[in-house]
Structure 1
Amino acid sequence: MRYDTFTHNSPNAVSSRSTESADDLTEKGRRILSGLYQTAVEDASIIGAQAPTGLGKTGTAIRTLANAGEDVTGCEPVVVALPTTDARDGKTAFAEQFGIDTLVLEGRHDACAASDGLHDEELPNMKSLPVSDWIAEQAEKGLTIREIHTRLKEKLGREPPCRQDGECPALKQWGEFHQEEFDVALCTHEMLHAKMLRDSTNLVIDEMPHYTMGLSGSGPSRQHIREALTLRLQKADAPLESWTELRDKLRHNPDSQLLEETRDAILSSPQPKTDWYFQQANSHRLDEGMLLAILNGEATACGTMYSGSTTYPQTPEAGTAREVVTVVLDEDYTLQRIWQVPLFEEVRSLVCLDAHPYEQRWAANIGMDVPFLSVLDEQEESRWRHQERGLTVVQVGDARRPLTNGDNLSETKAKALLAEIVEESEGDFCSVVAPQSVEDEISGWLDQMTPRDAKSMHYGEEMGRDDFGNEDWGAVFGHIDPGDEDVMDYVAYHRLDAKPEMKTCDKCGDNSVPSSTCIHCNDDGKVRARGRGFDGADADAAEEILKGVTERHVAQSIGRFARNAGEDNGGATVYAWTSVIPDKLVDVRAEGVETTFGEEQVEMLEVLKSQGDWVSTRELTDEVGCTRKHITESLGQMVDRGLVEREKGRGPNPDRWKWSGSLQTYGEVDLNSLEMGRRKRYFTRTKTISTPEVTLSRQQGSVPSKPKDTEQSQQEPDQAAYFEAERKKREEARKALDGG
């Protein structure tokens, strides 16, 4: 769904498109956002707003709704939920700048000293565990922090030492919320499990939340959940007494009367008391909801998955939080994913914010469909991004580069690209985003090349981060792929008809190798087709679900740069070493790493670099341990590339070589544009590099000395002046930041 900002109350829409400046678009975008928020809250409706990073979606929401009258808010509190504590604290500081009274709601680790382990040494162990570990174990069962504190007080025989002014801050904050002596309450997504934050509130959710149980890593394990379901079946005296029995019946006899009788037994059995959950090691407060969701489920259209949902508890007591529980099983009826989504139908109004919304993922994680309205159209976004943020995005190469586990990372290519960007930026480049599996490696390599301290973050922690907001140069490396299981979980949730596209196994498909001995496929002669495509009537929807991870993280990471729209900070150039990027964000496509040097060639360059002066061919032969011919041929090619200088020898005197000062010792990298189109004027920067034997013209990330009369500079006479002006703006902004 698109919100046409030019036809909405605009009789001269067409002509206004071509005349609006970036400042006009910023003002218009924020004005539309403000009106959208006010209308949604006043009408007590549910809506999503899509607007580019840096436009001020969240800040505008806070300022608009904090100043809205009771006739707009319905006398109900305004709650803004953010993805991380850093994002929450950043928006708290923003609100305070405008005199807005805020209430910050913190999770147990931030608010409760006992949960954070600060009192472990002075308190006795609970069931052989330090108190903080015991609290974490009970929280994994779904017990609330208030219930856990009550239990801890009973066991200690006194108030826990985390009290401040009579009560633990983790509990006290809810009394402060109830008093409503604030303009806006701020919290993280996870806090929305608390009913009070959804009970007729005006809720704003910034970025898509994730309300799934991990079943590995953080959160309860699959084994924990299986045991919890068995405990609840036994507590209800159900005819199917264990998860194993229930699973087998679903798998082999889904029409069995025993399944209906098991559902009736669960519904008629009273909910166990809180004390029972404390006593049972692997119990879980959501046990009944998970069982009812499974018993309500059915096989999906794709035929290989099973999913079911329920709202739990179905008949809650006063003050009890209700949630939408969805369970997905795979083709073997193994627990695959569990959604535990707060029941957002209880809010008065709901506004969802995202720069890159993927609606199938949003729907699964908030339990309802949300119509997202685009505040600016694609052309406006592009113009605003260039002119107001000064952000230029260069796609380097055409490979996807999945680096989820780091196996596909080429060290030499990565170093070659890093060195080229450092050189392009004249040493200013120091910030990179990459998958967590390779973040430390890439950051370490960059730290050895740049005169500045390298900074990094990894995909998954970029939401709401402003660390790179004032950086002029940046790079994002590769992408993370959630795998087919993640996509198929969402396919099952939405009951879509889609399967991963497969092809015949090259090793055993022709029966030359018995399939039972083939290690390349799953003994069925099929392997995953290249390109990560899907088959089925809903294949396109499945591909969008995949992009909701692959493209989203890349796009969000690019958005970490040049975030301060309207400030004269010179903007930023960001290089994306992946083709998994929304097309609307790509300004320039470059070839990237064309060739990499061999180990001996790299060593030659490193020797020249370390010497810093002329080195003879004979000395290099001794240092590197290769033939004179190999050195002459290799370094001769590097002279042509401007990496090495050469002094011809005479008579018995060998040639001498000297490092040119280039950081590039790993390969040949081309960041010249392959495709500019209508955005060409935003990027091209011409630089001429002269050596005794060759003159090369290439694009550079910073403005060099005056270019020679190359064909390109003749075709684009205005570009040198354009980027010289940009350079001056950048220098002035940096001086201002440095205090003059």
Structure 2
Amino acid sequence: MSDDVFERLDRAFENNPNADPKRLLWLADADPSYLEAAEAIVDGEDPTEPDPVDELSSEDLDRDPSWSSWASADFEAPTPGIWPEELLDREQWMGHVEKKPFAPWADRDHPDADPDKDARWKWGITDNYGDGETIAMAEVDPRLDGRAFLQQEDDPFVYVDGDDVRDPETGDVHPAFIAILEQLGATYADISQSEAGVHAQYKGTLPEDVKQAAWQLDEDPWGSNEDLPSIEIYDGKRVCVATGQHVPGTPTDVREWNADVLEPILEATDQVDTRDRARNEEISVDREEYDLEDYTPEATSSSETTDEIRDVFAAVDRLDAQRVAEKTIVQRWNDTASTSEGERAFWPTWGSLSDGGTANIVNDQRWQDTGDLGGYGGPVTMAAIDAGEIRPANARPVDGETWWRGVERLRDLGFAIPEYEPSTDDAYNGDGNERAVSALPIGQLDALEPADRRRFAKKRGLEWPSTDSAREELFDTIAEVIRNEDVRIVDAPTSLGKSYTIASTRWGARTEITGERPVVHLLETRDARDEAVDVAEEHGGEYHVLLGRHEACPVCAGDHDEEITINGEPASEWLDRQCEGKGMAFSAAHRYLAENNDQGATLPCSEESQCTAIAQWDEYREGPDGALEYWPLVIATHNFGYAPGLRMHNNIVVDEEPAFEQELSTDRIRRAVGAYLREIDAPVTTWEAFVQLSRHDDYQGDAAKERDALEDVLYEEPDRDWYFENPDAHTLAPALARAIFRAEDRANGRRFGKTMHEPPRLEAAVRDDDDWNREWVSIVLDESNDVRSVRVVPDFGSARSVVGLDAHPATPLWQANTLPWIKTTEVLEPEERQLWRRYERGLRVVQVGDATRPLSGDKALEWLNEDKLEALFDHLVDEYGTQFRTAITTAQVEDRLEELMEDAGVHRPELMHFGEEKSRNDFEYERVGLVNGCMDPGDDYVLDLLAELDLEAEVETAVDDAGEEYRARGRGFDGEDAETAQEILASVRENHIAQAAGRYARDPTDPDVNATVFVRTDAMPTGFADVQTPGVEWVFTDLQEEIVDELRSSDRSRTAKEISEAVGCTKEHVRQTLERLSDDEFGEPAVHVSEGVGSHGATLYSESGLPSVGFVDLQESPTTPYGDSSRWALAIRDPDARGDVDQGVSDGSSGDTTQVWNWRSPPDAGD
């Protein structure tokens, strides 16, 4: 019977890989006794027979089936003398007198104890400990009240103590306590000595910032008890009184708790550190961000208002914490208690006067609970407790919105704190639709000498790290993830040295970080891999590099196609067809070729020794010569992530976001699945019949029986020869069939299926110690059953740690391609990151215009807007000369953009397109560059990924005058997960833009390497642009161009009449054209106007730098310009979230803002 249940559990998990153990029971229609088996399957382990639940009465057996973990628990009649064997085996027991540990068998005069103290009472002395057998013999000592288990800091155990939760007269237990246990799961439980409490012991840990958890369960006592029911949870050092009064119907062993519910429970009961709660994001209350040294407050009373937060800090610092405590948390003072000088003890408002009244103490600065609840804090924390914002248990100094509410409570109680009213200049509150970009004073900082720049910035609360300190922070972040066996994407800017850090570290000497396991560095391209190898070689660490099949095997590379064939087909072509066309492992195809080639010959790659492509794996397994048994660093490309031997128990570093999508067409999948169905003699053998039967949802009739029969055979594997001999075979065929069969309906007409896949081992002699492999195969289908996408992701869950390295990570894409629970950790804060890039790395990013400019798809060339590009190129060539010669854009317009650059006089232009930028450093020493437009993956890409992630959002539409629906401008999404959909779209666009701009100025250690990159799109990460310029504001008409040429060709000033007669147009048209060019709002005008100085008072016009084909408004570059920079009106604007309004930062007071930085007048260096 159990084998059948195990099979159902396995099948349920394969089809629902994200199900937790309890849901797995439901899906497999298994009873609760199989919960441990379900947990084992979820953990990738073999399930075992369920243990019988002890002490089940006939009444219990007659109950209706229940899914409750604690339904069979009988708290009324405990069974004495039962303790968990796992605890009895440990030497961590002592007796106890009342609740104080005592070891009657121990040495009274132990040298670790004070000479005048009895050492047998010291539970910090491990020599006092005994095992279960020892304590059982000692328990007869009349001095002992019982036994206690001494839980240690590094133990895997957690002690859940329910105080006053059981009515000692009836045995009834408070339902709130049972509810908590039900969430945490079944485990060993006993009744306390007082019979009013219940203890449950689990395996697990509390979050790092929660020392212990404790809270009240009710406002009234339970049953005949006098005190309020409460719960306490400890996972550190603790004396755990163990009565052995076992609760029948509960396990006799200590079990893992359900960690998934722990965080919600702790959050709901305010146990999580309050600093992690919602914060006021507009005004920081982190004192380290303000210069408080020698600050003299201007507003001091509660009747005053202030826009200076330091006045509020000063007022809080002046408060006497004892006076605040008296008005907030003191129920009664206990001045008879013995305390340190300056401290007062008290009974708190949440406690009972029957308590000792000594645990809570307060001095003139802070309150502290030295008892079990463990809270502490200053005046604001006490006020927050009094206001009901936080609970006293585990309280900490508050932050964010809670801090502000605490301050308001203090004001309400009459304490002298001025009311804070931020000035309108401190923050800008938009309506939420604007796009946030940088508001840093880049223009003023640019105008300063490097020696003065940091001091000027620091006085305004801005700092950035040096490159050395930023790289140290990068290493520390990576090391922390690996040391803690964590799973994280490390978000660090380009050129900080992510790849270099991994490759240059001598991991063999850092075993305290790696756990004595290899660091496997997986890079996106061969070039990137080779660069990592060069770095590793330079720094002398031991490493092993894995080569691709075409590099390592000359037969696969095609070097021997004339002499080695199989079935008449050249060997390299056959190998490619097996590996790429059928998904076969190279080792299997290589072995088959060696045994079955037409010539019956030994393969040339193996004549002298084993083929390098195969031998490199033996070398990996054997490790280096010397003391180490493993390679400290293994370097390979992303595809090697499919090798189980590299993943299993190792530290995996995935450098750049991987893409594990498979290029499989609907036709190819139909042929593979059809061939597979015929091979296993399935009830149906065609794609159409298979899909139709898989979607049959009735549970009666012949079709239902046939569907169930089909499901049963989908777990069969074909013979080895089938994969080689059937032209339509594919190693993914069984998994694809199961995924399609189990596909669920998702939003936007998609269906999604996912299944676990163990790739077939097709070698003729698979070794017994070959690593077990597992992959996750998922497929998205549309309403026509056409394949939208196929993803095959290696199971990184078997790794010791997983580190993702990315400059602008898209978390949803990382989750789809690695592990669903992977999260992101930033190395630098956003402001630090931007300032480091600008002033340490020397890369300035100028956003040109405010349009998105997608340049993908069939209409990319139509959307190129060549007129404006010609004007832009004309300006850049005139301004920078030969320094401007590079650009990055989409593949669809790359060739045409190069032609336009050549036509504009760009000297030997060089271009690259999105998609190849991550692997190329061609532009690292270029001084000026252009990123033109952005990629657009299209709506289907986003909707397919939403289906994979089980999210719901649809494209935003609008209706035209004719009532026709069309895609709304702005490419927005509607629905519950619209924000994630927008994030996916933005990630594709913004990641490539940021990576493209990052191709420039790639050596932050060289102060002479700097660049300005003009980015002609708004699709870039928030804060990425240092400045924003309007760009091409005006493209001349033919007539306007004639007017400009006429004035430019003249060697003197001209009147409008003279120009109009020369070009054949009206004087008014000339006047309007030239007046527009005379605008001096952003600096030196292109045309000078002298009113009334010509004959008969006529206005004269003269050129001061006329453009050829249009007017371009661009930021001045920090690089040395070519020619006279005064020939152009160069606006320096602060990119701001106000749409068309440019908010500037002046060199005056904070309240004096202008729309344009005066870059010609830098701030005083002494400021």
TM-based fold match above 0.5: yes
Which amino acid is 1:14 matched to?
E
Asked whether the equivalents of residues 870 and 904 of structure 2 are also in contact (C-alpha less than 8 Å), the reply is no
Determine if the alignment matches structure 1 residue 582 to structure 2 residue 1028. no
Q: Equivalent residue of 1:213, what SS? A: coil
**Equivalent position to 2:1112, from 662, 669, 673:** 669
Partner of 1:160 in structure 2? 603
Instruction: State the secondary structure of the residue aligned to 2:714.
Output: helix
Matches within 5 A, 1:57-206: 57-64=498-505, 66-120=507-561, 122-123=562-563, 126-127=566-567, 129-139=569-579, 140-153=581-594, 154-155=596-597, 156-163=599-606, 165-181=608-624, 182-206=631-655
Q: Which residue is 2:837 aligned to? A: 385
* Partner of residue 991 from structure 2, selected from 547, 552, 564: 552
2:744 maps to which residue?
Answer: 298
Aligned to 1:46: 487
Per-residue CA deviation, residues 155-197 of structure 1 (Å, 9 max, x unaligned), is 1311333448523332222222223225422111122112222
**2:1012 matched to which residue of 1?**
573
How many residues align? The count is 647
Shift of 1:312: 0.8
Task: Note the C-alpha offset of 1:259.
Answer: 3.4
Kept in 2, the 8 Å contact 1:686–1:697? The answer is no
Say whether 1:308 aligns with 2:743.
Answer: no
Instruction: Indicate the SS of the match to 1:28.
Output: helix
Which secondary structure state, in structure 1, belongs to the residue aligned with residue 814 of structure 2? helix
Query: What's the CA shift string for 1:411-457, capped at 9, x where partnerless?
Result: 22223222322333232012211101111221333245456432221
Unaligned runs of 5+ in 1: 216-220, 510-524, 615-625, 646-657, 674-680, 702-710, 723-740
214, 235, 241: which one aligns with 2:685:
241
Q: TM-score, normalised by structure 2?
A: 0.51
In the TM superposition, 1:458-469 aligns within 5 A as 458-469=913-924
2:796 is aligned to 344
Distance apart, 1:526 and its partner CA: 2.9
| C-alpha deviation, 1:493, in angstroms | 0.8
Q: Could you tell me which residue of structure 1 aligns to residue 945 of structure 2?
A: 490
Look up the match of 2:352.
none
CA contact (8 A) 2:662 2:791 kept: yes
Give the partner amino acid of 1:30. Answer: R
Aligned-partner residue type, residue 1012 of structure 2: T
Q: Distance in 1 between matches of 2:1031 and 2:516?
A: 57
Q: Displacement of 1:486 after TM fit?
A: 0.9
Q: Distance in 2 between matches of 1:70 and 1:506?
A: 69
Name which structure has the greater RCO, CA cutoff 8 Å, separation 6+. 1
User: Structure 1 residues 593 and 243, CA, compared in 2 at 3 Å: closer, same or farther?
Assistant: same
Contact kept in structure 1, 2:845 and 2:1024, CA below 8 Å: yes
Q: Which residue identity does 1:539 align to in structure 2?
A: A
What is the alpha-carbon distance in structure 1 between the residues aligned to residue 550 and residue 1087 of structure 2? 56
Which whole-Å CA distance do the structure 1 matches of 2:1044 and 2:602 have between them? Answer: 68
The structure-2 alpha-carbon separation of the partners of 1:105 and 1:124, relative to structure 1 and needing over 3 Å to count, comes to: closer
Q: Is 2:419 the partner of 1:419?
A: no
Map 1:712-731 → 2, pairs under 5 A: 715-719=1158-1162
Which structure shows the higher helix fraction? 1
Write the distance in 1 (CA, Å) between the matches of 2:467 and 2:656. Answer: 20
Whether the aligned pair in 2 keeps the contact of 1:34 and 1:64 (CA below 8 Å) is: no
The SS at the match of 1:426 is: helix
Distance 1:473 1:242 in 2: 59
Note the alpha carbon deviations across 1:691-727, whole angstroms, 9 max, x for none: xxxx8643599xxxxxxxxx999944554999xxxxx
Distance 1:384 1:66 in 2: 28
Aligned counterpart in structure 2 of residue 375 of structure 1, from 823, 827, 834: 827
CA contact (8 A) 1:82 1:187 kept: yes
Residue 264 (structure 2) aligns with: none
Which residue matches 2:982?
543
Superposed counterparts of 1:239-318, under 5 Å: 239-251=683-695, 253=697, 256-267=704-715, 269=716, 271-300=717-746, 302=747, 304-313=749-758, 318=770
C-alpha separation between the residues in 2 aligned to 1:485 and 1:298?
Answer: 18
Distance 2:488 2:507 in 1: 19
Match of 1:618 in 2: none
- The question of 1:396 aligning with 2:848 is answered yes
Tell me how far apart the structure 2 counterparts of residues 69 and 247 of structure 1 sit (CA, whole Å).
53
Q: Hey, what's the Cα distance between the residues in 2 that align with 1:494 and 1:487? A: 11
Residues of 2 paired with 1:414 and 1:128: CA distance? 54
Deviation at 1:308, TM superposition (A): 1.7
How far has the Cα of 1:637 moved from its partner? 5.5
**Cα distance in 2, alignment partners of residues 180 and 659 from structure 1:** 74
Which residue of the other structure, out of 629, 635, 659, is the alignment partner of 1:210? 659
Q: Is the 8 A contact 1:210 1:365 kept in 2?
A: yes
- Per the alignment, residue 224 of structure 1 pairs with 668
Closer/same/farther in 2, CA of residues 226 and 712 from structure 1, 3 Å limit = closer
**SS where residue 469 of structure 1 aligns?**
coil
Could you tell me whether the CA contact under 8 Å between 1:42 and 1:74 is conserved in 2? yes
Letter in 2 for 1:203: I
Give CA deviations for 1:113-148 in whole Å, capped at 9, x if unaligned: 33333333x235545644333222111211111122
Q: Which amino acid aligns with 1:263?
A: E
Flag the 1:537–1:397 CA change in 2: closer, same or farther, 3 A: same
Measured in 1, the distance between the counterparts of 2:840 and 2:607 equals 47
Task: Give, as a single letter, the amino acid of the residue that structure 1 aligns with 2:986.
Answer: K
Structure 2 distance, partners of 1:98, 1:297, is 50
Q: CA deviation at 1:357?
A: 1.1
| Alignment match of 1:323 (pick from 762, 770, 775) | 775
The aligned residue for residue 200 of structure 2 is none
Give the C-alpha shift of residue 337 in structure 1: 0.8
1:459–1:327 distance in 2 versus 1, CA, 3 Å: same
Q: Which moved more, 1:47-56 or 1:96-105?
A: 96-105
1:665 and 1:127 map into 2 onto residues whose CA distance is: 66
RMSD: 4.1
Aligned residue type for 1:244? E
> CA distance change for structure 1 residues 32 and 712 in 2, over 3 Å: closer, same or farther?
closer
3-state SS of paired residue (1:204): strand
Deviations 1:289-344 (A, max 9, x none): 111222333112x2521112111129988435321111111233321111101111
Change (3 A) 1:430 1:339: same
Larger Rg: 2
1:209-248 CA-partner distances (Å, limit 9, x unpaired): 0000123xxxxx3211111011111222222322211222
Q: TM-score, normalised by structure 1?
A: 0.78
Report the identity percentage. Answer: 33
- Which residue identity lines up with residue 798 of structure 2 in the other structure? E
Q: Give 5+ residue unaligned stretches, structure 2.
A: 1-208, 210-274, 277-285, 292-456, 625-630, 1052-1060, 1079-1084, 1089-1101, 1134-1153
Aligned mates of 1:232, 1:321 — CA distance in 2: 21
User: How far apart in 1 are the matches of 2:1071 and 2:524?
Assistant: 51
1:634 to partner: Cα distance: 8.4
Aligned equivalents of 2:748, 2:830: Cα separation in 1: 38
Moved more, 45-54 or 104-113: 104-113
Task: State the distance in 1 between where 2:1157 and 2:806 align.
Answer: 43
User: Does structure 1 residue 499 correspond to structure 2 residue 954?
Assistant: yes
